[in-house]
Amino acid sequence: MARTARRGKLTDVLIERLTPRPDGREAIVRDGVIPGFLIRCGRRKKSFEIRIERKGRQKVFKTLGAWPGVKADAARAAAHDVLARYDRREPISDPRHGDMTVANVWPLYRSRLIDNGASPKTLEGYKFAFARLSEDIRNVPFRELAANPILMADEIEAMRNRTLAAPGDVGTSGMKMGNSRRSL
């Protein structure tokens, strides 16, 4: 069963009145102006998304942020940007030229630390923190990280899981974690 779009565009007034379906499942309301632009309304949050599916091309499903942190007009502008990049066959997830990301700011910040006389231990600590970030988060523009703090929360959770799951790591109790067997 195909979902039909609304006749008009998504507005903050409409979104404020949205509720999940009576059976508790999330409601999906599509915008009538930009194809693939929608809002998912669940019990706890309302999230903007863009979904692009074209025959013979890679599908794109991108979360644009949660309402009310991201307003409808800002989400629509982001959806329009993603759709335009997709139509120009530009990478969707890569930052645009000139966008500030952790990956392109880190060398500048490191140089600043050295110029200010930071100790080798401090430099080592920052280098370790940078290395722990996933490649995806390193290349997300700061404006997107600021607009969607859930991205960083998910990254922090993933780092914790990687740390806990790494075999042979030493946990907080000082005991070796992973790949250990007790002999009785």
Mean pLDDT of the chain, nearest integer: 79
Higher pLDDT, 176 or 101: 101
Contact 19, 41 (CB under 8 A): yes
**What DSSP character marks residue 6?**
P
pTM of the model: 0.50
Helix (H, G, I), strand (E, B) or coil at 66: strand
Structural domains in the chain plus CATH codes: 12-87 (3.30.160.390), 102-165 (no CATH)
Q: Per residue in 114-161, pLDDT tens? A: 999 999 999 999 999 888 887 777 877 887 777 777 777 777 787 778
Mean pLDDT of 63-73: 86
What CA–CA distance (Å, rounded) separates 36 from 88?
A: 17
Residue 166 has pLDDT above 70, yes or no: no
- Specify the DSSP element, H or E, that contains 62: strand 60-67
